[in-house]
Every structure is written in C-alpha cells, then in structure tokens.
C-alpha cells in the first residue's frame, strides 16, 4: 500500500467540487473623496495626470451588476465565462500552497482524486500588473544575517504568469484580475497530465473552460475542464481527444509558524529539508524537519490533554455503507498511540455531514481531510499529505482507497493464513472479516498521513517462535509497527490460535511519542535534541523500537516478511502454502456457476507468496545487518551476516528452490487454468533466483566480507557460494545411475549459461553524454570471482565427464554432452 504507492509526503487528494452556492454581491461602492484609487490613480502610486489607454478601468465597469460573487480568502467574481479574482491588498506577498488534482479522469488516463502538482506561490504587485510567482524554501538564511542578501539574489522566484490589473476596488484598493487563462491555457507549472509520456499532446483552449469556483476563509478552489489533442489516447473512443476535470486548490499558509522538530535517522518520518546559509557552521548547513500535524494541548499543565484542534478525517459519502464504521475505526486505532504522547482524542474519524446536517460543509474545503473511495480496479490505497515547506507542518491529507484493494486483501489473507482461520476456507470472505482487513489498511494509510514512512525493520525484532503464541501476538500483533509490510502472520500454524492481522503497536506509539510529545523548556529545535536522543536510545534495550528502510541488503529490513529468522519463518510459511494448495479447489469453486478465474488468480498468488518467502532468505547471502546508531550509543551500525547463517540460507534455497518444488504441481488445478506452462514457469523462476544469487553487487559484498573478516570469524566467500550452488544443482552426477529430469536440466543449463555470461560479458553499450545526476554505476565483477568461476567450471566439467558413462537415458546423455560443449566454449571463447 503505497505512500505514496507517492514522494508521497507532499501530495494530497481533493474531491470534486460541490455546487458552488455563490451569493450575488458587489462589495463596496463608489470611492469616497480621498479614499481608494479614482480613475487615473493607482493605489500607492500617487495621482497621475492621465490613465493609460490599456490601464485599469473603473471598478463598476469590470465587476458589473451581472457578477456572481463569493467572498473568502479572495473575492471571486463570475461574469459568464469570465473568472475574476479580487485580491485583497493584505494577501499580496503572502505564501499560498497551490495544489492540483484530477477531479475527473477520462478512462485510461488516471483516477479522480490523485494529486499531480503542488507548489508554493505568492501574488505580487508590480505597478498595474499582478505576478503569480513560484516560491521556494529549499535555500534559506535568517534575514538578520549578511549572507541573506546573497541568498536572496541567487533565489529569484520564477514568474508563472503575469496579469494586467483590470480594476482597483473602491476603498480597500483590492486588485481585480482576470485569471481565466491560468486554468484554460497550457501552463506547464500547473500541468496535471504528464506530457513527457506523450509528446504529441497539445492543449486546446477552445475546448477548455472554468466550471466552478468557490472561496473559503483560508483557501479557494477552481475546477476546470481541460481538453488536449493527442495522437495516443488510452482506450480511445474520442478520435484523439483527452478531456480531464482538474481541481486547483490554493491554501493560505499559516502566519504563525508551527514549531519544528529536527529529523533523526533512528526514527522514521517524512521530512522537509532546507539548506541554511545563516548558521555559524563552517559549511552550508543541511536542516531536516519532520512532517507532523500541529497539536497543541488545551491544558498544557495536564499529563494528557485534548488538543486545541484534533486531526479529523471525514469518510467520503461515496463509501459503501457497510465499510464506513471499519474505516472510522482504522482512523481511531491511532488514538492510544497519541495518548502515550500526551494527547487524548487527538485523531477522530467521522462520517461526512449531509447537506441537511451542515449546509456549509464542503469536501472542497482544504481545511478538511478525508478518506476517499475510488471506483478503480487498481489494487492499492495511498495516504499522502500536504505539508508547509517552511516547517514541515502537515496541513491536510486525503487517503485514496481503490475499490479493488478488497480483492488484494482477500488474496493475501487466503494465501498467507487461510489454514489458520476457518472464515477464509471458502471464498468470498465474510463482511466481518473483510471489514477488519479494510480497517488494517486504512490504519496503515493514516500512518502515512501522520508523517510515517514504511518501517521494514519492525517485524524482524519478533522471534519466529513467539509469532505462534496467542498471548504474545494478542499484545503485539505480528509486527511492532503497522507501517511495516509484514501483511499477515504466515508463521502461525493451524491450532496455534495466534493473532494474524497487524495492529497499531509498540513502535507506532514510540514514533508518535518521539515526534509529537511536547518537550518542556525547549525553545528551539536544537534544545529538544538531548531529550529526543534519550528516547531514541531506548532502541538499545528494546529492538521493537527500531526503524529501517528497504535497501535490499539487510535481511532484517524486508517487505512481505515476518520474524527474526528468514529461514525459520519461511519453513513455517512453506508448511502453510502446501496446506493452501490442498484448499484451492474447494475455496475457489464454491459457486458452480462461475468459471475458474478465481482458481487461476489464487494459484498465481500462491506461487508469488512462495517467491517472496524465498527472496527473504536469499537476502541473507552477502547480507549486512543495519542498526542505526548515533555517537551517544555504543556499537557499530553495520554487521555482516555470519558465515553459518549464509551457508544455511544457501542450503535452504537448494532444498526449496533449486530442488524442483513439485508440491506446486497439481494437475487437477493446472489443467483447469492452463494447457501447458509449469515447466517454463519453474525454469523462469529458478533462473531468476540464480541470477539474483550471483548478482555482481552481491559478489562484491562477499568479496569485501572475505577481505575484512577476522581469522577467528571467517566469512562466507564467493568460492563457498559457487561450490555450494554447483553441488546442489548437479547433485545427480554423484549417483550410480545418472538421470536428470527436464526441470533440473533447465536449472543446470541456466547455471552454466550464467557462469559463461560472467566470464564473457557482452560489450557494454555506449552512451552519449553524461549519466543523470547522482548516478552510481554498479560495481564490476570482483577480480577473484572470475578466477573462481573458471575453477568451478573446470571441476564441473570433470564431474560431467565422469558421469557421462552412467547416463540412464538419451536425454541425460545429450544434456551432459551439451553442458561440456558450453563449458568449453565459456573457458575458450576464441576457439
């Protein structure tokens, strides 16, 4: 479930506009003597002898009696198709967050509710023109420092669009500008459609218009129908036309800045980063602030207090009624974590009020956050948020919930824990179980909206045997963090009675406490650090409090994994998968009038789950454990996986991947879903595992571990890996009578072909121009690897020569001869 799947931290989903409910009004009247600009006089410029021919007109000639107006942070006037913003003088120069999302999508081009653009802007006056400028906060310096002048000179704000002032309002001297072209012409900075994927796309202003506009106290929304011509239109039934409804929301950023909290690598938060030149450091200081909501206690003296303003999520009225209570529960599952941090009732889920209950409520109003239900076959959900780039304060969030995430949950739950839960023995799952699964997903996505990224390290702190304990899992779930990708407890066995579904748990409470607790007597972010460091150091005594990102190297930071021992966890997982194979037919064919689509889909999920579990084990080979530490803590950060653990992982893969997993071959299933293909499926999977096992980056880590190992603790070497995999893949050669079946012949050919490719790689393609910024080429094949591969192939050739007279059939004899030919070609490519 993505965070956005999103970098998700700066995005938001906004629902389509409700009826604008505009009120006809004409603010102000004729200017009193000495007040406001009369004709020929601009505000702040003094009297002028003559009004320029193309200058501002009298207010009543622009905002006529036909105007339908709406007052909020700006005053909006609609006159036919014309859209006017009347910008109060007090709002000029202030920062606004401008967000664009797809409010209505054409089939195949995207999904309504997905945010595509966000940026900070400000409206600036220059004479009789108003500029819309892009504002950045990446580079800063305190205005009281001399260097701030240099920063200002080198961070000129780009102009997105310039507008002529059509009129000045009486009295208040507000600037009236026609902004229609901002939303009905091709403005790259505001583009929602990604034209880089279709360079033939052309904006058509003649078929684009502003549909609605609405002003709120701190924000305004504009909804526009935008049309493009294109030579490539998905699901094209419109002869090369793409029409999308785009909603733009402009939110006034708070005048009173929220307190900031510095990042800490030991605790996972989305963040806002700045380069600060105004410090006393002897370098450009990098400042990283966590993204979090502004929570202030009503009673600062109380140990636990309600906040002045709680975090509220409204449930989209389009949500199917039976799921609404579960989504509310998923939101409020976080309440105990906030109570631990000193806030009661900090986060609340509510049904969106009906127009009868609250006629002024609108899902367009960017002051509200909500959970949006999206009618899509995408199997996902996402939880982005909008944050203030000055401080990291989260301002609004909208969780997107695709309809077909229910199908994904059904499949996951069945293939991971169906033997442990009688409710999952036959599909479909009952609503009571599906509701609980939806609660789990929305709680995960709410975590993203609170500022938390995925914590892939969490589940590795839980002993595998404990995951089978009812009391242990009732307290902790199957992972200490709902932000993990642990999914469901596939370690649990039938009869254990262990909990199966993740919950908001101990790491989540720890992270909320670290990020949201008020630190007394700390006036600056720097002053908070000693207290926050003392919290982070609790990880030394309690591994459940650790955080880790996904890097492909650390066996303790894996997706789709549970437990502290991948080999042991996958052993239990395999036991369940074999049970599930025996359940597939009955579970997916209860309705005799349906076809075998469910059977085919669920069989593919079983194979996919097996691959996930085997991949968790593979990561141990050449793996490096990572436990983030600061200098206030003892010990190192990186520790190579031990020789014994790596050797055990290779043995496990040999027994469960390279030895053909025939338990997945059931003709009663396969002959109902495919005419052929099992052999090819196994060949592809086994070849992929071989390539991953001998990936150059993995071999490079093995070479490094070998070179740096202490004599008392020898490392698992490249030679060990080559020998172990070769012996496991060619074990038949030692038998008195050598018979190699089709699956093993595929595996053995793949091994020799891979070794040939390592020794004789094809020429690298030439590339014109420099690589993209930050590109780091992969390490080359370690020098020792080439020599060891040659030695291994020679040993293999000897074993094949000795096995040839023992070949039990023609296929085996031809196979052995072919392998010897391939080995000779690999060792002697010129010949």
Task: Name the phi and psi angles at 751, rounded to 5.
Answer: -65, -50
Q: The tokens of 9 are what?
A: 């931290």
The 8-class DSSP code of residue 656 comes to: I
Distance in angstroms (rounded) separating the CA atoms of residues 92 and 623 = 56
- Residue carrying structure tokens 């599906």: 434
Q: The tokens of 419 are what?
A: 């033997």
Q: The tokens of 394 are what?
A: 């989260």
| Residue 143 pLDDT | 75
What stretches in the chain show pLDDT beneath 50? 2-53, 195-196
SS (H, E, C) 692-719: HHCCHHHHHHHHHHHHHCCCCCCCCCHH
602 touches 429 (CB < 8 A):
no
CA 507 from centre of chain = 19
Burial of 829 (0-12, 13-18, 19+ CB in 10 A): exposed
Pairing of strands 347-351, 311-315: parallel
The stretches of 154-261 forming alpha helices (DSSP H) are: 180-184
Contacts of residue 747, defined as CB under 8 A and 6 or more positions apart, other chains included, come to 658, 660, 683, 686, 687, 690, 729
| Residue 225 pLDDT | 87
| Residue 279 pLDDT | 72
- Helices then strands, counting H and E runs in the chain, come out as 20, 27
Pairing of strands 241-252, 68-71: unpaired
Distance in angstroms (rounded) separating the CA atoms of residues 169 and 28 = 7
Distance in angstroms (rounded) separating the CA atoms of residues 671 and 676 = 8
Report domain extents, the chain: 27-62+67-252, 659-761+780-831
Distance in angstroms (rounded) separating the CA atoms of residues 213 and 217 = 14
SS (H, E, C) 384-427: CCEECCCCCEEEECEEEEECCHHHHHHHHHHHHHHHHCHHHCCC
**Which stretch of DSSP H or E encloses residue 819?**
helix 810-827
Distance in angstroms (rounded) separating the CA atoms of residues 31 and 170 = 5
Distance in angstroms (rounded) separating the CA atoms of residues 491 and 479 = 12
Strand partners, 117: 100
399 touches 313 (CB < 8 A):
yes
Nearest to 536 by CA among 641, 629, 651: 629
Nearest to 223 by CA among 195, 241, 249: 249
Q: pTM for the complete prediction?
A: 0.87
The stretches of 249-392 forming alpha helices (DSSP H) are: 324-332, 335-340
Per DSSP, the three-state class of 595 is coil
Distance in angstroms (rounded) separating the CA atoms of residues 764 and 767 = 9
Distance in angstroms (rounded) separating the CA atoms of residues 459 and 480 = 6
Tens of pLDDT, residue by residue over 592-601, are 889 999 999 9
């Amino acid at each position: 479930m993505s965070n956005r799947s999103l970098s998700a931290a700066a995005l938001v989903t906004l629902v389509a506009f409700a009826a604008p409910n505009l009120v006809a009004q004409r603010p102000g009247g004729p200017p009193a003597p000495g007040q406001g600009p009369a004709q020929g006089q601009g505000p702040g410029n003094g009297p002028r002898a003559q009004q320029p021919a193309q200058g501002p007109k009298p207010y009543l000639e622009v905002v006529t009696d036909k105007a339908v107006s709406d007052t909020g942070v700006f005053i909006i006037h609609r006159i036919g198709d014309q859209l006017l913003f009347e910008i109060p003088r007090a709002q000029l120069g202030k920062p606004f967050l401008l967000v664009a999302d797809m409010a209505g999508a054409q089939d195949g081009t995207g999904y309504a509710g997905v945010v595509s653009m966000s940026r900070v802007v400000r409206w600036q006056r220059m004479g009789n023109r108003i500029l819309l400028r892009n504002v950045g906060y990446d580079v800063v310096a305190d205005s009281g420092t001399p260097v701030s002048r240099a920063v200002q000179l080198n961070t000129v704000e780009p102009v997105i669009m310039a507008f002529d002032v059509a009129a000045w309002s009486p009295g208040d001297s507000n600037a009236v500008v026609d902004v229609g072209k901002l939303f009905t012409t091709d403005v790259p900075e505001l583009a929602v459609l990604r034209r880089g994927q279709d360079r033939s796309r052309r904006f058509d202003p003649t078929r684009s218009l502003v549909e609605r506009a609405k002003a709120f106290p701190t924000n305004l929304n504009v909804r526009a129908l935008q049309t493009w011509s294109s030579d490539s239109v998905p699901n094209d039934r419109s002869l090369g036309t793409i029409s999308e409804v785009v909603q733009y929301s402009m939110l006034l950023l708070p005048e009173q800045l929220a307190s900031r909290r510095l990042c800490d690598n030991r605790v996972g938060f989305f963040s806002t980063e700045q380069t600060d030149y105004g410090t006393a450091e002897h370098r450009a200081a990098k400042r990283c602030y966590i993204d979090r909501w502004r929570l202030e206690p009503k009673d600062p003296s109380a140990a636990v207090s309600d906040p002045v303003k709680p975090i509220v999520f409204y449930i989209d009225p389009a949500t199917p009624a039976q799921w609404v209570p579960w989504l509310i529960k998923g939101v409020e599952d976080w309440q105990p974590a906030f109570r631990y941090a000193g806030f009661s009732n900090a986060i609340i889920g509510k049904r969106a009020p009906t127009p009868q209950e609250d006629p002024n409520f609108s899902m367009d109003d960017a002051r509200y956050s909500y959970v949006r239900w999206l009618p899509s076959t995408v199997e996902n959900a996402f939880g982005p948020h909008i944050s203030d780039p000055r401080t990291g304060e989260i301002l609004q969030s909208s969780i997107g919930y695709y309809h077909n995430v229910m199908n994904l949950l059904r499949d996951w739950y069945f293939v991971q824990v169906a033997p442990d839960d009688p409710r999952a023995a036959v599909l479909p799952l009952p609503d009571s179980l599906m509701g609980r699964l939806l609660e789990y997903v929305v709680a995960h996505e709410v975590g993203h909206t609170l500022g938390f990224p995925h914590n892939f390290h969490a589940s590795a702190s839980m002993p595998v045997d404990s995951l089978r304990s009812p009391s242990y899992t009732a307290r902790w779930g199957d992972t200490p963090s709902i932000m993990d990708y642990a999914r469901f407890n596939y370690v649990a066995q039938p009869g254990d009675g262990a909990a199966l579904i993740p919950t908001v748990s101990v790491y989540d409470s720890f992270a909320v406490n670290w990020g949201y607790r008020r630190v007394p007597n700390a006036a600056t972010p720097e002053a908070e650090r000693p207290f926050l460091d003392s919290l982070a150091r609790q990880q030394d005594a309690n591994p459940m409090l650790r955080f880790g990102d996904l890097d492909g190297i650390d066996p303790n930071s894996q997706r789709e994994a549970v437990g502290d021992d991948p080999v042991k966890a996958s052993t239990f997982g395999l036991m369940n998968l074999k049970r599930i194979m025996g359940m597939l037919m009955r579970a997916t064919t209860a309705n005799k009038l349906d076809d075998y689509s469910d059977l085919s889909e669920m069989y593919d999920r079983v194979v996919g789950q097996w691959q996930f579990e085997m991949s968790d084990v593979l990561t141990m080979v050449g793996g490096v454990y990572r436990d983030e530490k600061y200098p206030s803590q003892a010990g190192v950060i990186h520790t190579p996986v031990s020789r014994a653990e790596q050797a055990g992982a290779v043995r496990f893969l040999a027994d469960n991947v390279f030895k053909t997993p025939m338990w997945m071959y059931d003709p009663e299933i396969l002959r109902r879903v495919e005419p052929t293909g099992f052999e090819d499926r196994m060949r592809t999977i086994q070849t992929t595992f071989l390539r991953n096992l001998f990936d150059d980056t993995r071999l490079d880590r093995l070479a490094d571990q070998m070179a740096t190992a202490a004599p008392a603790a020898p490392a698992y070497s490249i030679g060990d890996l080559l020998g172990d995999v070769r012996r496991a893949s060619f074990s038949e050669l030692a038998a008195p009578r050598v018979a190699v079946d089709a699956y093993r012949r595929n595996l053995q050919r793949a091994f020799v072909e891979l070794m040939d490719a390592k020794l004789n790689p094809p020429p690298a393609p030439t590339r014109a121009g420099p690589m993209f910024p930050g590109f780091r080429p992969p390490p080359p094949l370690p020098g020792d690897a080439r020599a060891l591969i040659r030695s291994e192939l020679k040993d293999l050739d000897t074993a094949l020569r000795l096995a040839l007279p023992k070949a039990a059939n023609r296929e085996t004899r031809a196979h052995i001869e072919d392998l010897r030919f391939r080995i000779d070609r690999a060792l002697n490519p010129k010949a």
